[in-house]
Amino acid sequence: MSLPPTEPQLLPLLGGPPPERRDAARNRVRLLDAAQELVERCGPRAVTMDAVAAAAGVGKGTVFRRFHSREGLMAAVLDHSETEWQAAVLSGPPPLGPGADAWERLLAFGRSRLESTLLHAELIREAGHSGARAGGAHAFAATHVRYLLTELGVTGDLPILATALLAPLELPILDQQVTIEGFPVERVYDGWVDLARRIIGRP
């Protein structure tokens, strides 16, 4: 046994994890494309991991190495739409994007988020706990709402208040109201606006 001929990494090379090998990257996009295509053709519920692997022309093990689990894969598919939505909030046209006053933006945010959540309901459910929603997406939304609340002059524990305002727009709660109790979406939205008014402390 001898010392390795060279240090595999002379400098810490600060920054993140090592880059991805070319075949790995190629397979990741193949898998994501296949998954997206299958999801929108059969619905997320009916998509099996074997099917995705086969459609992408790779082995099953590869699917699980790229995306930890089925939930992870679904989360990745969901991430596509989520990212577009974030772009619309950050730099799209008003009133959702910048350019309108904070109250208008908050209203647009609520409606947009409500519709988006209902639109992707199945996928969100399938993405479950490891959903982009549970990680980055919620953080994004919370940050944005906190910013808007600040603009509106709200004082208090903003992270908590933002969460309280976001909570009724999360799928489990929306599902309860819309799917199970059968409330019309308009009513739920109006209720949310009312909640926002009370939190802000305005007529």
The contact set with a copy of itself (CB under 8 A) reads 125, 129, 134, 138, 156-157, 159-161, 163-164, 167-168, 170, 172-173, 176-177, 180-181, 183, 187-188, 190-192, 194-195, 198-199, 201
In this structure, is the dihedral angle defined by the CA atoms of residues 117, 131, 38 and 33, taken in order, positive or negative? positive
Q: Which is nearer to a copy of itself, 37 or 175 (CB)?
A: 175
Crossing angle of helices 22-42 and 49-56, rounded to 10°: 120
Classify 105 as helix, strand or coil: helix
187 binds, among DNA, a copy of itself, none (CB under 5 to 8 A by kind): a copy of itself
70 binds, among DNA, a copy of itself, none (CB under 5 to 8 A by kind): DNA
Q: Give 3-state DSSP helix, strand, coil % of the chain, rounded to 5.
A: 70, 0, 25
d(CA 72, CA 75): 5
**Cα Dmax for the chain:** 78
Contact region with DNA (CB under 7 A), list: 16-24, 95-103, 134-142, 161-169? 16-24
Does 21 sit near DNA (CB under 7 A)? Answer: yes
Q: Nearest to residue 171, comparing CAs of 109, 107, 116?
A: 116
93 binds, among DNA, a copy of itself, none (CB under 5 to 8 A by kind): none
Does 23 sit near DNA (CB under 7 A)? Answer: yes
Does 5 sit near DNA (CB under 7 A)? Answer: yes
